[in-house]
Amino acid sequence: MLAWNLEKDLSSLSTEALIAELAKRQQTVGVRPAVVEENFQKQGRNIENLRYDNYLRGLEAEQTSGEAPCPVCKTMAKIRVKNRARTIYTLSGGHKFRRHYHYCGSCEKGFYPLDRKLELREKGEVSEALEKRLIDFSVNEPYAEAAERIALRYGLEVSTNLLRCVRERVGSDTVSVAGVALHEELVTNRPVAQRLSVQTDGCMLPPLDRWKEAKLVVVLREDCHLRGSKSSKGTTMEMRYAAR
Ligand SMILES: [Zn+2]
């Protein structure tokens, strides 16, 4: 009964009042400013983690116990397994949730409606928002350094193996997309380049039968290139390669 009363009292407070009350409880006396700042960040992440857990609990409760439409053929599919656990990592840390597994007899394929609602990949452990950040770091530097920078920036402990898996999964998904569709997605809403710069180079490679020249072509938009000076060669933000 005491817990119920506390819950009722807290729920009657505004979000601003709750945040103000929380701020009053931060221990700062005798603590170095840098540590205070780090602690505030950590507490913020803990709250985000609880909020995301609550979000998941709500979605779990909303799951149908009946049939769900197959994402491919729209046939209503029954539940085959209830409450199968999955762990995911988001910007706020790790979360475990349970979802129902449905099976479509027409397609002979199973699916998890809640996974689709959360827009999760079939395989893998990270949310879309976290995946973007992991990719951003892991394509530009070695995995170990990327893991260190992610820990510093977001307070998240990620393994080099996780970074490798995410990068390989996103890479293979990108390659499997039809080239034309990928090109259209990349160029949508972009103005036509006023000038393109094309550079080529080649080198001789020893294949099985005889030496052959491998060609590499790089194409870049002028508006994606910052000119260099006598001492620097400039910076290119975006370019495309073709090799043969
Ligand atoms: Zn189906």
DSSP characters over 58-81: HHHHH--SS-EE-TTT--EEEEEE
Question: What's the confidence (pLDDT) of residue 233?
Answer: 78
Q: Find the 102 Cα to ligand 1 centroid distance in Å.
A: 10
Q: Which amino acid is at 183?
A: H
**Per-position pLDDT tens, the chain of length 244:** 445 566 667 788 888 888 888 778 777 888 898 988 888 888 888 899 999 999 999 999 999 989 999 999 999 999 999 999 999 999 999 999 999 999 999 999 999 999 999 999 888 889 999 999 999 998 888 999 999 999 998 888 899 999 999 999 888 887 777 676 767 766 666 778 888 888 899 888 876 677 888 888 988 888 888 888 888 878 887 778 888 7
What gap in Å lies between CA 43 and CA 22, rounded to an integer? Answer: 10
Q: Are 150 and 167 in contact (CB under 8 A)?
A: no
Q: Find the 24 Cα to ligand 1 centroid distance in Å.
A: 54
Question: Which helix (H) or strand (E) segment is 173 a member of?
Answer: helix 160-176
Instruction: Give the rounded distance of the alpha carbon of 50 from its chain centre.
Output: 19
Question: What's the confidence (pLDDT) of residue 1?
Answer: 44
Q: Find the 108 Cα to ligand 1 centroid distance in Å.
A: 7
Q: Find the 103 Cα to ligand 1 centroid distance in Å.
A: 8
What gap in Å lies between CA 107 and CA 38, rounded to an integer? Answer: 51
Q: Find the 58 Cα to ligand 1 centroid distance in Å.
A: 27
Q: Find the 74 Cα to ligand 1 centroid distance in Å.
A: 6
The pTM (predicted TM-score) of the whole model is 0.68
Q: Find the 125 Cα to ligand 1 centroid distance in Å.
A: 25
Burial 82-96 (b: 16+ CB within 10 A, else e): eeeeeebbbbbbebe
Q: Find the 91 Cα to ligand 1 centroid distance in Å.
A: 33
Question: What's the confidence (pLDDT) of residue 5?
Answer: 61
Question: Two tokens at 229?
Answer: 């000076």
Q: Find the 26 Cα to ligand 1 centroid distance in Å.
A: 53
Q: Are 224 and 239 in contact (CB under 8 A)?
A: yes
Burial of 147 (0-12, 13-18, 19+ CB in 10 A): buried
φ and ψ of 146, to 5 deg: -60, -45
3-state secondary structure (DSSP) of residue 56: helix
What gap in Å lies between CA 217 and CA 187, rounded to an integer? Answer: 19
Q: Find the 28 Cα to ligand 1 centroid distance in Å.
A: 58
Q: Find the 210 Cα to ligand 1 centroid distance in Å.
A: 51
Question: What's the confidence (pLDDT) of residue 106?
Answer: 94
